[in-house]
Amino acid sequence: MATIQDPIIPVIARLVRQHPGTLSLGQGVVHYGPPRAALDAVRRFGDLPEEHLYGPVQGQPELLEEIARKLAADNKVMLGSGQSLMVTAGSNMAFLNAILAIADPGDEILLPLPWYFNQEMAIRMIGCIPVGVPTDDRYQLELDALRAAITPRTRAIVTVSPNNPTGAVYPESDLRAVNALCSEHGLYHISDEAYEYFVWDAARHFSPASIEGAEAHTIALYSLSKAYGFASWRIGYMVVPQHLTGAVLKVQDANLICAPRISQVAATAAMRIGKPYCDERHPVIARVRECVLDELKAMRSFCQLPEASGAFYTFLEVDTRLDSQTVAERLIREHGVAVIPGNAFGVERGCLLRIAYGALLPASAEAALRRLNAGLTTIVRER
């Protein structure tokens, strides 16, 4: 455990608490909470004695039914006899379940760079090796690099699309190519789709688990945290090949037994409303996104801003000799604005900063970006 990086979100949050009044462009959450129907369902929970008992390890039947309906309608994933579905306490738990089910200590998991830090941490915790694989200058997948990184110890390739931390959205053709590569080499394709509903401009989300014939080697991870404002309720779910069902059941039963039943009740009510709940809130996030992009364009003389067509992140490269951790700490202490340093995502070159804007409304976004502009301008001029 001593060799694993400290979780960067609590580290930055601690700094923010030490500097009251700091505006955060740090944590990746949305500004809204769950649907009213979800909260109403929670208020009715607890009258029946069985509601205070453990539930099924895989999840409550009514929630599994809603998830299956959603997967068919939104992801074109038609669950069949070759696949299994499990409700988890967020998609981070789903990822850990998956790695424990498929890998032994010393095995390798390929993570396109920059990676999502919690996934890299989970891989190291169970004695496996995260292998960072370069992406191009737009943070799109380099298929030749992925192929070249495969060794006899490789067990899986992970894709996160829409991407955290870059906001990149991988095209269907590339995700199909990764899935075919996994099939060719006997690997699993772990597809993290937590930001599936957050795509912008002409970008389109694609679910590799919908590929015909991919059932036996595709693991798909989903979350309610973002789309439904469900972060604190800790509900996610995973689609796994049928032959992994026994393994993921063992992992979940030993670790959690079942996702909290009260949260599953709330999730069932939320998913009966479905994607329209998120769609209705998109315009506000879209306005904030435009504000962020406009403000960042004003910094082009000392920042590079690759295209970000998904999630609610941009990954900013700053022209300074200082490392990203130092810059992030100075922005909080001296300028009252928080971002996440790029070194947490496995990128040590230069100074890269993740900007998250999902939690902000337009007025607070403008104020935070003004502080960011002033702070980076001051830091860059010092070189």
**Does one domain contain both 290 and 213?**
no
The answer to whether residue 103 sits within a structural domain is yes
Torsion of CA 141, 345, 356, 221, to 10 degrees: 60
CATH number for 376: 3.90.1150.10
Q: Which of 241, 274, 307 is the last residue of a domain?
A: 274
For 175-224, how does the pLDDT look when each residue is reduced to its tens digit (9 = 90+)?
A: 999 999 999 999 999 999 999 999 999 999 999 999 999 999 999 999 99
- Determine whether 86 is exposed, middle or buried from the number of CB atoms within 10 Å of its CB (0-12, 13-18, 19+): buried
Work out the average pLDDT over 52-66. Answer: 97
DSSP at 274: -
Q: Output the pLDDT for position 257.
A: 96
**In 274-357, which residue ranges form alpha helices assigned H by DSSP?**
276-279, 282-297, 324-335
The answer to whether residue 222 sits within a structural domain is yes
DSSP at 251: H
**Does one domain contain both 357 and 261?**
no
**Does one domain contain both 188 and 84?**
yes
**Does one domain contain both 237 and 339?**
no
The answer to whether residue 96 sits within a structural domain is yes
Q: Which of 244, 274, 304 is the last residue of a domain?
A: 274
**Does one domain contain both 124 and 240?**
yes
The answer to whether residue 27 sits within a structural domain is yes
**Does one domain contain both 69 and 216?**
yes
pLDDT-above-70 percentage for the chain: 100
Three-state SS at 146: helix
For 96-154, how does the pLDDT look when each residue is reduced to its tens digit (9 = 90+)?
A: 999 999 999 999 999 999 999 999 999 999 999 999 999 999 999 999 999 999 999 99
The answer to whether residue 1 sits within a structural domain is no
Q: How confident is the model at residue 27 (pLDDT cuts 50, 70, 90)?
A: confident
For 36-50, how does the pLDDT look when each residue is reduced to its tens digit (9 = 90+)?
A: 999 999 999 999 999
Distance CA 372, CA 276 (A): 33
Q: Is the pLDDT of residue 12 over 70?
A: yes
Mean pLDDT, all residues of the chain: 96
**Does one domain contain both 201 and 215?**
yes
Q: Output the pLDDT for position 258.
A: 97
Q: Which residues pair with 317 in a beta bridge?
A: 304, 352
Do 338 and 10 meet the contact criterion of CB atoms below 8 Å apart? Answer: no
Q: Is the pLDDT of residue 383 over 70?
A: no
Q: How many domains does the chain have?
A: 2
**Does one domain contain both 194 and 82?**
yes
**Does one domain contain both 231 and 109?**
yes
Q: Output the pLDDT for position 40.
A: 97
The closest of 330, 327, 309 to 317, measured between CA atoms, is 327
Does this model's pTM top 0.75? Answer: yes
**Does one domain contain both 347 and 246?**
no
CATH number for 89: 3.40.640.10
The closest of 128, 185, 139 to 342, measured between CA atoms, is 139
The answer to whether residue 3 sits within a structural domain is no
More confident: 305 or 43: 43
- Determine whether 172 is exposed, middle or buried from the number of CB atoms within 10 Å of its CB (0-12, 13-18, 19+): middle
Q: How confident is the model at residue 298 (pLDDT cuts 50, 70, 90)?
A: confident
The answer to whether residue 122 sits within a structural domain is yes
Largest CA distance in the chain: 66
**Does one domain contain both 83 and 127?**
yes
DSSP at 233: G
DSSP 108-132: EEEEESSPPHHHHHHHHHTT-EEEE
Residue range(s) defining the domain that contains residue 372: 8-32+281-381
Do 205 and 169 meet the contact criterion of CB atoms below 8 Å apart? Answer: yes
Work out the average pLDDT over 339-359. Answer: 94
For 232-279, how does the pLDDT look when each residue is reduced to its tens digit (9 = 90+)?
A: 999 999 999 999 999 999 999 999 999 999 999 999 999 999 999 999
The answer to whether residue 2 sits within a structural domain is no
Distance CA 322, CA 5 (A): 20
Q: Copy the structure tokens of residue 25.
A: 């462009």
Q: Output the pLDDT for position 376.
A: 95
Q: Where are the beta strands (DSSP E) in 291-373?
A: 303-304, 313-318, 337-338, 340-341, 351-356
**Does one domain contain both 28 and 40?**
no
Q: Which of 245, 274, 303 is the last residue of a domain?
A: 274
